[in-house]
């Protein structure tokens, strides 16, 4: 692997942070360290944090940084091996069987044919380890999958090989960089946690959020980006059921630039209308009445 010989971690981390920034992701120091460790120790990285703080975006940016493919496995309740690892292409197998029925081939020949790699459907996990070049494998919301799946995942992540009964063992062509994300729907097992590096993705500080806005919305005015970041920070401090994430901040800023507002204090009425991009429940809307928003706007300006 080409990414195994880092010489100077401080420089490496700075380089990782810079390349992530080029890819549109503004990373903090701890995340850069964790990503550097991922390459050094070849461990998966577990990202936890509230919804919308940019966990998935880390994987997307990492794929861009390493100029490789992002393979994503979205977990859900009831996810099984067939959907995550591999499945035989039954329709094609049956078609092949029917087509050869008249040919008089021996059963052994037919069997060898229909259980060949050509009839194997690669699902995300298998595709990730069979790729020629090391890919980024994103296992999204791993807490939504069942506990049984977790155990199976643990096995794949430590062996990096898959046994298909009809074909034999398929070893990895390359070791993917694995990122797991979790929202805390269910507690993940200690074994899986131990296997992984851990990073908690927190809401960004004001200047980092402003930098994210600048990176994602190149057209935005620096002063406005800072205002928006301060305002959202203040909104998060209010007692809300669902504090707005970075994705919401981006929507809010995009809406502001879309209507051509350059200063948050310029049109409070409009800002109040655009809160729909930040607050997603009726309860939270009620928690921020006009007076409160006005007060927050006065504070941040």
Partner 1 sequence: MPHAQGRPASDPTHPAPPAGERVRARLAGFVRALRDNGFATGLSESADALRLLAHPGLTDAATLRSALRALFASRHGDLARFDAVFDAYWFERNLKPAVRMADTRRLPSSAPGLPGANPAGTGSGPPQRVDRSPAAMDTATQGDGRQGGASADAVLTATDFRHLVDPAELARAYALAQRLAGAMRARLTRRHRAAHSGSRLDLRRTLHRSVARGGVPVDLVRRRRRDQPLKLVILLDTSGSMSPYISVFVRFMHGALDSFRQASAFVFHTRLIDVTDALREKDPQRAVDSLGLMAQGMGGGTRIGESLATFNRWHAARTLRGRTALLIVSDGYDTGAPDLLAREMAQVRRRCRRIVWLNPMIGWRDYSPEAAGMKAALPYVDLFAPAHSIESLEALEPYLARL
Does residue number 276 form part of the binding site for partner 1 (CB under 8 A)? no
Residue given tokens 């298909």 in the structure block: 164
Closest distance of CB 118 from partner 1, Å:
15
Cα-based distances in Å from 59 to 202, 235, 283, 294: 16, 28, 33, 37
Q: Which stretch binds partner 1 (CB under 8 A): 18-26, 35-43, 65-73, 289-297?
A: 35-43
Structure tokens at 233: 């920070």
Tell me the backbone φ, ψ of residue 179, rounded to 5 degrees. Answer: -120, 125
Query: Do the beta carbons of residue 125 and residue 156 sit within 8 Å?
Result: yes
Q: Where are the beta strands (DSSP E) in the chain?
A: 45-48, 70-74, 86-88, 120-122, 136-140, 161-164, 168-171, 177-182, 197-200
**Between residues 22 and 202, which has the closer beta carbon with respect to partner 1?**
202
Query: Do the beta carbons of residue 246 and residue 50 sit within 8 Å?
Result: no
**Between residues 74 and 174, which has the closer beta carbon with respect to partner 1?**
174
Does residue number 64 form part of the binding site for partner 1 (CB under 8 A)? no
The 97-116 site mask, x for binding partner 1 (CB under 8 A), equals: xx--x------------x--
Rounded Cα–Cα distance for residues 246 and 51 (Å): 9
**Between residues 10 and 298, which has the closer beta carbon with respect to partner 1?**
10
**Between residues 187 and 273, which has the closer beta carbon with respect to partner 1?**
187
Of residues 114 through 133, those in contact with partner 1 by CB under 8 A are 114
Q: Using CB under 8 A, list all residues that contact partner 1.
A: 1, 6-13, 29-30, 33-34, 36-37, 40-43, 45-46, 48, 77-78, 82, 88, 90-91, 93-94, 97-98, 101, 114, 158, 160-161, 171-175, 183-187, 190, 193-194, 196-200, 241
């Amino acid at each position: 692997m080409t990414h195994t010989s880092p010489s100077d971690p401080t420089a490496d981390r700075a380089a990782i942070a810079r390349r992530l920034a080029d890819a549109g992701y503004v990373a903090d120091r701890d995340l850069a360290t964790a990503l550097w460790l991922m390459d050094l120790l070849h461990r998966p990285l577990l990202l936890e944090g509230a919804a919308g703080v940019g966990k998935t975006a880390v994987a997307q940016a990492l794929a861009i940084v390493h100029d490789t493919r992002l393979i994503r496995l979205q977990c859900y309740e009831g996810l099984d091996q067939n959907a995550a690892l591999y499945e035989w292409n039954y329709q094609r197998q049956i078609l092949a069987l029917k087509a050869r029925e008249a040919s008089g081939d021996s059963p052994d020949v037919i069997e060898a044919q229909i259980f060949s790699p050509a009839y194997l459907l690669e699902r995300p996990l298998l595709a990730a380890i069979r790729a020629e070049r090391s890919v980024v494998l994103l296992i999204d919301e791993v807490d939504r999958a069942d506990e049984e799946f977790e155990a199976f995942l643990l096995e794949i992540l430590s062996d990096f090989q898959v046994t298909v009964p009809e074909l034999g063992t398929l070893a990895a062509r390359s070791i993917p960089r694995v990122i797991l994300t979790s929202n805390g729907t269910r507690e993940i097992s200690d074994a899986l946690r131990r296997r992984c590096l851990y990073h908690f993705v927190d809401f960004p500080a004001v200047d980092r959020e402003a930098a994210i806005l600048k990176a994602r919305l190149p057209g935005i005015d620096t002063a406005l980006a800072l205002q928006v970041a301060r305002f959202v920070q203040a909104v998060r401090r209010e007692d809300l059921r669902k504090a707005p994430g970075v994705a919401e901040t981006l929507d809010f800023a995009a809406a502001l630039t879309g209507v051509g507002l350059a200063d948050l204090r310029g049109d409070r009425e409009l800002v109040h209308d655009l809160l729909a991009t930040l607050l997603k429940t009726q309860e939270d809307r009620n928690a921020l009445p006009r007076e409160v928003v006005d007060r927050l706007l006065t504070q941040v300006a």
